[in-house]
Amino acid sequence: MSTAIYEVKRLADVKAPAGFAERVLAQVGAADSYAVFETVLGHVYVAWSRFGVSAAMRSKSAGEFEEWFRKDVGRQLVRVDPPEDLAAKIEEQLDGKRRLKFDLRGLTPFTQAVLMKTQEIRRGEVRPYGWIAREIGHPAAVRAVGTALANNPIPYFIPCHRVVRTDGMIGNYGGGGPEAKRSILTLEGVQLKRLEKLAHSGLRYEGVRSTKIFCFPTCFHGRRVREGNFVFFHDESEARAAGYRPCKDCRPAVA
């Protein structure tokens, strides 16, 4: 047997280490990596690529997360040891700081716009679906916004839990249902009883008597306002008729 043929045969008999092919796919962007992290929300499985975090889920097992990822995201997945700084970035993201980059490949431009706008909602605040639709230039697409958020592959970090129904009620949540949504919002400091009381009364906005500005309930501008200094409105026209102008921060209406 010639030396060349022997070398070819020898290389053909060499077996790659377990997981080698998957790691190569991850490095070239054809597969995503993942690990499980302990967070304030419990164990969260997080996937990422060289473009950023691509998925997150509080799964019962690694197998469940892998199956969901392959079905919904459509790429290969390999479990690895995470980068040293990723756990800290995840903790800070959940604490209200925008530290993570996201991989939204495969999502439509509309869905990407919905998710990127949702990122702007501060920790401890909520906005209605209609606000997202108006802010991205599709004011009539409220239902489509709800669908995009229901299928958000990166809940918790892209905070779809901070988006509520147009009538002010909490609504459903793709990251674990209404109870999970309530739990996360409470953890973030949202006064759910107050929010739901206003919603049941049909009151959508709160105005501050001293500034003549009206906001969405939970806007951070109202956090240090005494309850007696608030006045509440059913709609935008009622607020404007009373001489109030919309907040430039939470933007409850077009200025």
Alpha carbons 240 and 182: distance in angstroms, whole number: 32
**Shared-domain flag, residues 128 and 159:** yes
pLDDT value at residue 93? 95
pLDDT value at residue 176? 85
CATH number assigned to the domain comprising residue 11: 3.30.160
**Shared-domain flag, residues 128 and 90:** no
For the chain, list residues with pLDDT below 70: 1-30, 255
Counting the structural domains of the chain, the total is 3
**31 in Cβ contact with 75 (< 8 Å):** yes
**Shared-domain flag, residues 87 and 116:** no
Q: Is residue 181 part of a domain?
A: yes
pLDDT value at residue 31? 87
Q: Is residue 103 part of a domain?
A: no
> What is the span of the domain harbouring residue 129?
109-190
pLDDT value at residue 138? 97
Show Cβ contacts of residue 197 under 8 Å, excluding neighbours closer than 6 positions: none
**Shared-domain flag, residues 20 and 72:** yes
Which of 146, 169, 190 is the endpoint of a domain?
Answer: 190
Q: Which residue of the set 160, 215, 247, 250 is catalytic?
A: 160
pLDDT value at residue 20? 52
Strand ranges in the chain using DSSP code E only, listed in sequence order: 31-39, 42-49, 52-57, 76-79, 127-128, 163-164, 205-208, 213-215, 230-233, 245-246
pLDDT value at residue 8? 42
**Shared-domain flag, residues 119 and 168:** yes
Q: Note if 160 is an active site residue.
A: yes
Q: Is residue 100 part of a domain?
A: no
pLDDT value at residue 18? 47
pLDDT value at residue 141? 97
Alpha carbons 115 and 253: distance in angstroms, whole number: 20
DSSP three-state, residue 255 = coil
CATH number assigned to the domain comprising residue 165: 1.10.10.10
Residue position matching structure tokens 């997945």: 77
pLDDT value at residue 3? 61
